[in-house]
Amino acid sequence: MNKGKEIKDAGWNFDNSYARLPELTFTRTQPVPVSSPEIIVFNDSLAEKLGLDPARLSSEEGAAIFAGNEIPEGAEPLAQAYAGHQFGHFNRLGDGRAVLLGEQLIPSGERVDIQLKGSGRTPYSRGGDGRAALGPMLREYIISEAMHGLGIPTTRSLAVVATGESILREKNLPGAILTRVASSHIRVGTFQFVAAWGSLEELRTLADYTIQRHYPNIDLEKTPYLSLLQETIKRQAKLIAKWQLVGFIHGVMNTDNMTISGETIDYGPCAFMDAYDPTTVFSSIDREGRYAYGNQPYIGGWNLARFAESLIPLLHEDPDEAVSIAQHEISRYSKLFQKYWGTGMRAKLGLFNEEEDDESLIDTLLGMMQKHKADFTNTFRYLTNEKPEETVLFGKEEFTKWYEGWQGRLERQEESKGSAIQLMKRSNPVVIPRNHRVEEALKAAEEQGDFTLMNKFLKVLEKPYEHTPEHEAYCTVPEPSGAPYRTYCGT
């Protein structure tokens, strides 16, 4: 594999701190080369932010790197080890189809992971082929970039490369590799793995490293591991509240898919809700609704309890006291989530302050939306645009009463009606990656090699809060279907 000067000149600036952790946490491994790599989509603006040269890397040179055929100078490829509760069952896992090239030091001073997903078998593949299909990799590219546009912490997508090879799932599919960018890939499952199979010193080393990387303001001299737990709980409560506020359903909230950084990760069977219904499930493997939209906040707390369990040896020398500390902190998660979610919901309704009856105001609206199958995104869009007559709720006696109460609530606050509308515009997206639009783009890309729809869609998703005629075309809901929409993991 070439590691020449030309690749270095593309802007790579690696400093691989994870590779200096105890070897228990990873295995050095190389991506498996592919036959005919070709860049399908490349994120120029993200490349520039990373300090990379888009012109150089959107070429054959970039295709070779993003396929794993060439390794940039300074990279130290490895697969990370971790565990995870998958649908409640604990398993020993790891990067079965991903390789971390290394950590790029970017112009802003931040450190980010550069990872290849679908780059071949690793020591953690457990019988899998280590590859990925084009459709799921394009889905992750679209959804992760949409989440970024919505202002939700997320991993980013730098490129998708077609491998020129087919992979066998239910049928032969075109293969692809995604280049994913994250502030790190340290997960709740990473801590679970070290707590279960490592030493106390290795657990302490991982915790210290995580603090230095993600929470540098934590005082290492006082109660650093308690602070790590508190800060992680806070970030996850805030993140999941943001998911709920836009109708995002992750689909597979296993503990190996919850980052310590507070970023959304692993866009497998994810989707966005159309008609408001807390029981909404899209994932084909979530047969009992464990990860339904309405369950996401509770699963977040459950996952964080598993994180707290892994930290118990570090929280206090007395195990009973450590358990008590962990339980106390986890008990605070629900209130934190409710605070972030409540603030977000009030903003969606143009409310700057808080009143005692706000909870009832919000719950009544959501109840009506569920009862009448109102579209989640469009209902708030119509309210923002002062066009209540366009909602399916209009004309219902209960909605008329609610609307009058909401208008009275707006009038009681000091801020003007115009200010309230501006707050709503900042809080209610016009465009989300609606499932039928995603499928439309993926079908054209997979079956016809036509990326026009996807590229146009991505451009609109960059600015989802803009109220323009171009955006209006992406607001339509899907036609009624006899079969429920289903998403698949792609592994």
> Is 256 known to be catalytic?
yes
Q: Cα–Cα distance between 215 and 51 in angstroms, integer? A: 24
Residue in 256, 266, 274, 286 annotated catalytic: 256
Q: Cα–Cα distance between 267 and 142 in angstroms, integer?
A: 10
**Buried residues in 430-467 as b, exposed as e (16+ CB within 10 A):** bbbbbbebbbebbeebbeeeebebbeebbebbeebbee
Structure tokens at 326: 């962990």
Catalytic sites, residue numbers: 256
